[in-house]
Amino acid sequence: MTPSEPNSTVSWPSVWPVPQATTREKIIYAVLGILGVSMLITGAVGALNGKPTFLIYGGLLAILFGLGIVHFRHHTRPQFDRNDISIGTDRDGNPVTVLQRSPVLFNLRTAMMAVATLLFIVSAIDHYFDEGTEGIFGVIIYSIIALFFGWYLLSVATGSLQRGHVELSPTGIRFRGWSVEANLTWREIIAVYPEYEDRVRKVLVVGDPERTWQFDYTVKLWRIDRLTVVPMLDIDTRKFRLPPQLLRAIFAQYWENPSSRNELGTQRSLDRIHSLWDRSTR
């Protein structure tokens, strides 16, 4: 049975391994935790020995590793949220069905960049006070690194980097990643299928290679998303707070059933997607 049939289930693709705690994940948690605690201890010892800036460094690094733990947790075990499915409008004001990408991952990454920026700003100032003009080369290096991470924050502030979303309309799909925008019409799509690569569960929406591939990077420096040279949306299910099998079912539903596309941008599409969610199995 297909996902559009009312009594069918939305099954877990066989190509995807079932999520479970792995030794690798436990090691990553342990390493990040140990590093965070050791940074705090090192900073405290340095402060007791008359170097108060060590406590600042230790605290910032501990925060960075702590954020890394939380980020990794949400990357591997996202918390699902039905509110990430909604009705919105596209740039032309036409109604679309919107699948929001995770704000948690985006905000955590932004917080990590803010801490890294602050860390190198403090390093530049501290180095200047320690070395004076003789250490100007080091100050420049620290400042350049701070600018590198700070540029990420500026890109977020200007909207060039966003958490992203997917817009589904009767005519096609518009993908807005963290740093890229791409479009595929339903007529251009030739396949929708699940893929597992580099420990990532993906949904690949493949377009006709003979058609023009419409995409545009929104930033010059922080191009986090990467697109292939052929028309294809590489949907990383970890970036959404939606069940992975539901994401696959949504794209398959509207690609395989052209008659249902007219409901996109209306409440009927939300009802259908929530029904698919309720029938999702692992």
Q: What is the pLDDT of residues 205-218, one digit of tens each?
A: 999 998 888 888 99
The confidence score (pLDDT) of residue 5 equals 53
Say if CB 237 and CB 15 are below 8 A apart.
no
The confidence score (pLDDT) of residue 1 equals 40
Where along the chain do its domains lie? 23-82+103-158, 165-278
Query: Which ranges of 4-160 would DSSP assign to H, the alpha helix?
Result: 23-48, 52-76, 103-131, 136-158
What Rg, from alpha-carbon coordinates, does the chain have? 23
More confident residue, 282 or 7: 282
The confidence score (pLDDT) of residue 86 equals 97
Say if CB 161 and CB 152 are below 8 A apart.
yes
CA torsion sign, 105 to 56 to 120 to 39?
Answer: negative
**What's the maximum distance between 2 C-alpha atoms anywhere in the chain?**
75
> pLDDT by residue (tens digit) across 229-271?
889 999 999 999 999 999 999 999 999 999 999 999 999 999 9
Share of the chain above pLDDT 90, in %: 74
